[in-house]
Structure 1
Amino acid sequence: MRFSLPLVAAAVLLAGCATLDEAECRSVDWFDLGVRDGADGYAATRIGDHRQACSEFGLGVEQADWRRGYEAGLESYCTIDNGYAVGRRGMYYGRVCPLDMERDFLAAFALGRETYDVEQEMAQLDQRIVSLESRLARSEDLSDQARLDARRALGELYRQMSWLRRSRDRLEFEWRSRF
């Protein structure tokens, strides 16, 4: 029997998308799963993914239990500290927090995300600095003008890095003092 590569790949991808396997569908504590899904910041539509996974085995979900757990999980996800941590890791926020918690979560998330962005820019700049320093270390291959240009460029990169460090420090100070 021959299988086409696209069909096999699609089957593997679909199997990888299931949120639960048969054993999990049979034994899961739906409240606990809801807590974990909420605490991980999944959208409420996650229950549909579980429903689809378990329906493949002729099993249903305990939606009310999952929902109660999910709401409890959101209580731990939608904190100011977690908002900052989620932003600081550059993660996506799917607008899952209840309105009464979202404003503070979003303020912390924005500050964390800004810090993440600055740190990403610093990492890219650091790679450019290392590359240019390496080029200068092999300066016997460079003309005097090329060496001078490289040193000027390196000086500018150092200035940019210094500015980014001050920006990151300012953001971290704002986090400590504001929240």
Structure 2
Amino acid sequence: MRLLPVLLSAACVGLSGCAVMSVSECQVADWLDVGQRDAFAGRQKRFAEYEKACAKANIQPNQALYDTGYTKGRFEYCQPEVIFQSSLEGSGSYQICPVAQHAELKPYHDVAAQYYQAKKVKDQLFDELERYQGYLLDPKLSKENRETYTRRIRELKIKQERIEFDYFDAEHKLARFKRERGLK
């Protein structure tokens, strides 16, 4: 099962970035596989989108095969470890899973999604700080721009403490959650 996400991600690239299908993709689509891929990626059903895209080529997608594949993909996706890993990558959601599983899956999603978001904000802050500090190295920089960039760096440094606290808190919660549940 570990190879399945990689294989499905690679196949997803072949479908125009997983948006809608081209006419040529409609002509060769394996609707069982398309449904399975959509569910395993944590997406809501997109059959109506495929129907609309394929109508341009007078092709009617097979909804029964799509639904069967979607059900299979959803079963594979709606596992705590899969939800957790997807959420760590910023794409997880337990919302497509059966409602009866939501209480079990929500903590896996929440702790991983909180970490992902805190890391993203921290990384963005450091990228922005680095960019403005780089601007200040330009010897031809005008006095006005130097003051603007210096002011922006000060603003970012004020935010930095809170952002780092949020990140380390999320990192600590993630480590504890993984330890408690035996996750890698």
Q: Note the alpha carbon deviations across 1:7-51, whole angstroms, 9 max, x for none.
A: xxxxxxxxx99722233222222111111111112212x011111
Give the equivalent residue in structure 2 for 1:97.
97
Q: Note the alpha carbon deviations across 1:62-107, whole angstroms, 9 max, x for none.
A: 1111101001011122221222223223336382111233322222
Of all paired residues, the percent bearing the same amino acid is 20
Matches of 1:121 and 1:164, distance apart in 2: 9
Q: Indicate if the aligned counterparts of 2:94 and 2:109 stay in contact, CA closer than 8 A.
A: no
Q: In 2 relative to 1, CA 173–54 (structure 1 residues): closer, same or farther, beyond 3 Å?
A: same
Give the equivalent residue in structure 1 for 2:76.
76
* 169, 172, 176: which one aligns with 1:170: 172
Post-superposition offset of 1:134? 7.4
Give the equivalent residue in structure 1 for 2:113.
113
Q: Indicate if the aligned counterparts of 1:79 and 1:101 stay in contact, CA closer than 8 A.
A: no
Structure 2 unaligned blocks of 5 or more: 1-16, 138-153
Q: Where has structure 1 moved over 4 Å in runs of 4 or more?
A: 127-137, 156-162
Matches of 2:130 and 2:85, distance apart in 1: 29
- 1:60 lines up with 2:92 in the alignment: no
Residue 93 of structure 2 aligns to which amino acid in structure 1? Y
Aligned residues: 152
* 2:96 alignment partner, SS class: coil
Q: Tell me the TM-score normalised to structure 1 length.
A: 0.65
Structure 1 unaligned blocks of 5 or more: 1-15, 138-149
Q: In 2 relative to 1, CA 135–37 (structure 1 residues): closer, same or farther, beyond 3 Å?
A: closer
Q: Indicate if the aligned counterparts of 1:129 and 1:157 stay in contact, CA closer than 8 A.
A: no
Matches of 2:132 and 2:53, distance apart in 1: 52
Q: Indicate if the aligned counterparts of 1:35 and 1:70 stay in contact, CA closer than 8 A.
A: yes
Where do 1:138-149 residues align within 5 Å? none
Give the number of the structure whose alpha-carbon radius of gyration is greater. Answer: 1
Where do 1:39-54 residues align within 5 Å? 39-44=40-45, 46-54=46-54
